[in-house]
A and B are shown apart, each in its own frame.
Chain A
Amino acid sequence: MRIVALSALAIFVSLSVIFGVSLIVRATIFMLPYSMTEFRMVVEVLRVLLALALAYSWLRVGKALADWYFWRSVSFRGRDES
């Protein structure tokens, strides 16, 4: 059972990296197009900051899922032992 749960978590994180990064890059390109070439430095900094903020958000989602799985399993285990 634990291999299934952990694999599901790893697949979720991996797929969200693959497709999440594409979405993040598309979003940053859409919001901050390179046509603003006179502000290239500012655009690049904003793109990276936006990408980091979005990446951090989905890592937090993964963390919330991991926490839920961990504490749920620990509480079930405690109940089984008692």
Chain B
Amino acid sequence: MLDVFTVGTALTVSVVAFAVTYLTIPPLASWLKHRGIVGIDVHKLDGPKIPQMCGLSVIAGLAAGLFSLELVAGHSPDIVAFLGTVVIAGIIGVVDDVRPLSSKLKPALTMLAAVPILLLGTYDPHPIFPLIGAFRLTILYPMLILVAIPVTANAVNMLDVFNGSMSGTLMIVSLTLAGVLAFAGKATAMGLALALSGSLFAFYLFNRYPARVFGGDAGSLACGAAVGAVAIIGRVELVTVVALVPYIMNAFYGLASVGRLYERREIKPRPVKLRNDGLLEATAERGAPVTLTRLILAEGPMSERRIVSLMQVLTALSCALAIFAFFLVEA
């Protein structure tokens, strides 16, 4: 367990990340709207135009939080590697927002986000598993990092489909990781997770239903890569996988249904349709991917707000099981 001073420092980092994100979103959103960088909210009957790419504020908040962590806790390669990963994933997201990348190029490019972790060597090639302990993977672990960061980044990106769905659920995941890392006595990694929680909470206040801003791929890829980086730097790989189960279910079931990597815009049969009463309904189209949203809507139509609430409940459940996995690992 960590001492009160360390936990206080990490909470301050979270507050800094929250404040910077919260304060930068309104000017960024109005600038993006003025430049016409907007997305249509397709799950509303009037289809409002919402400023996109406001996930850049999350990156700014994270950077500010991590800078304060560096000032208080001293220089750490973990912080530099984490920030490098987030910034590279964010840049790829910006490119995708401006000029959509193909379904194969996007995951391939997000591999670049793993490079700072590999270059700075902020990993331990002995992942720990419950009932077994450390498992030696000295040669292959670095290669698995090249896969892990694109997997988390793109899985998070695939669940960023409703107002607050990504920010609301990932906030629960990052808070869980912060708690687990505090218990494991990993101060820096806990600071990284808390900075992410702070930024995501500020973003959620603007992104929740009815959304005033969208994060864009810049936000979702950066946040997904951030969670992957926390898992690797904090040595909580399995705990993170369990916490991300709703994301894994959504991504794997979608990919397995379509049979290949895909972008939402490429899929012609729509998985979900908007009804005239404003509720969302799962279609019975055989060719559409069976995503988490479609599973939620299988028994009948629902409002967007309730779908996101259900996603949050499922994430909270998987996070509770992630905590169980952590204690099983520690036992």
Residues of A within 8 A of B (CB): 1-3, 5-7, 9-11, 13-15, 17-19, 21-22, 25-26, 29, 34, 40-41, 44-45, 47-48, 59-60, 62-63, 66-67, 69-70, 73-74, 76-78
Contacts and interface: CB of A to CB of B under 8 A. Distances in A.
Contacts of B241: 17, 21
Interface of B: 129-132, 135-140, 144, 238, 241-242, 245-246, 248-249, 252-253, 256-257, 282, 284, 290, 294-296, 298-300, 310, 313-314, 317-318, 321-322, 324-325, 328
Contacts of B257: 63
Given A73-B298, A77-B299, A45 B238 contact: no
A22 B129 CA distance: 6
B286 to A, nearest CB: 9
Contact of B295 (A21, A25, A66): A66
Contacts of A47: 137, 140
Contacts, number: 111
A12 B83 CA distance: 34
A22 B296 CA distance: 30
A68 B69 CA distance: 48
Contact of A67 (B290, B300, B310): B290
B295 A70 contact: yes
B249 A10 contact: yes
Given A67-B290, A70-B295, A17 B132 contact: no
**Chain A interface, DSSP helix/strand/loop, else mixed:** helix
B139 A2 contact: no
Given A14-B325, A18-B328, 10 more contacts: A3-B310, A7-B317, A11-B321, A25-B132, A41-B139, A44-B140, A45-B140, A70-B290, A73-B298, A77-B299
A18 B238 contact: yes
Contacts of A34: 136
Contacts of B136: 34
Contacts of A1: 299
Contacts of A13: 245, 248-249
A70 B318 contact: no
Contacts of B139: 40-41, 44
Contacts of B132: 22, 25-26, 29
For the complex of A and B, the 7 pairs showing the least CB-CB separation, nearest first, are A73-B298, A14-B321, A2-B299, A44-B140, A22-B131, A70-B298, A18-B325
Contacts of B299: 1-2, 5, 73, 76-77
Nearest to B281: A77
